[in-house]
Structure 1
């Protein structure tokens, strides 16, 4: 799947699942997100498990899926799934600079609402922002007519 199709799936998605490593155990969490220029942004509490994990081990993976629904058949062994998905890998960091946090929160907000939004300095200082520089991402779909 080409980058244009992958980005179309991301634009339609409402949740991104971020996978991290907690020692030798995988940890995944569904998050609101923003995407721009091959970079993902997430927000959350300054003191959270995901922040701690990213600071210890910045390599992450992520997943988006849309239009997921089962395709039934008479024989359950012939059932299939209709979906479009994106899976990728990247390097995460916690954003510290206020101006970069503001821009990231604007990108996140734009994923869900039109128009511009403002953030106060206290809001920016109280909010953690995670930035993921995407290294690789791939897209896949099933149950759709070839384009």
Structure 2
């Protein structure tokens, strides 16, 4: 049985059935993928209809936070305590095989199941909003104006416990059929990664404000 301090216990929903050797239930692996990603896909059912909505998120310890306008159908639905499925995927490369059938991608992904709850206190909202900001770009929160009471009142924040979760990871070269290795076709990996371009200052920015180091040296890698 998995050590709950180190790994997530597998459930009927999180156990990897297709290519189970790619499954990873290690807590550190799951959190590293979440911390490197930027967008999650939130899946839920509302009035009998399935929805999958992309949104930003933040993590504090073993909880994932999402936020938005109180008018958001997704947030209004989730605060009712319905089951939700959240996924995050990082694309690390294209895998080019000798046959069309065995082309693939190298990736790291996480799936979380659970029930989100409403964050009701102003203190809790502030902590979550700081997590969102720091998740996007570290060291930013200490420099910007914090939310006003009116802005906090106009923001709905939901908390999802990270208790039922798993990761799935593919790395390495293509897996060709033995007979295809002799084909005169190039095969291998084409690595991909998210990189930042040159920062573009706001036209209304004062010329005496320098570019922060955390912008100049921005990276999504958590390794």
User: Is TM more than 0.5 here?
Assistant: yes
Runs of 4+ in 1 over 6 A off after TM superposition: none
Task: Give CA-to-partner distance per residue, 1:83-103, whole Å, 9 cap, x none.
Answer: 000001111122221111111
Other-structure match for 1:41: 65
Q: Which residue of 2 aligns with 1:111?
A: 135
Quote how far apart the aligned CAs of 1:58 are: 2.3
**1:131 paired residue number:** 159
Deviations 1:51-84 (A, max 9, x none): 2221344211100111244312232111122100
Q: For residues 109-143 of structure 1, what are the alpha-carbon distances to aligned partners after superposition, in whole Å with 9 as ceiling and x for unaligned?
A: 11012222522111111111111122301011012
**Higher strand content, 1 or 2:** 1
| Unaligned runs of at least 5 residues, structure 2 | 1-23, 174-223
Unpaired runs of 5+ in structure 1? none
The 2-side partners of 1:35 and 1:58 are apart by: 20
The residue aligned with 2:176 is none
2:117 corresponds in structure 1 to 93
Normalised by the size of structure 1, how large is the TM-score? Answer: 0.89
Aligned pair count reads 145
Pair member with larger Rg: 2
Q: Is the 8 A contact 1:91 1:135 kept in 2?
A: no
Q: Following the alignment from structure 2 to structure 1, what is the Cα–Cα distance between the partners of residues 27 and 101?
A: 33
Distance 1:55 1:36, change over 3 A: closer
**Two-structure CA RMSD over aligned residues (Å):** 1.7
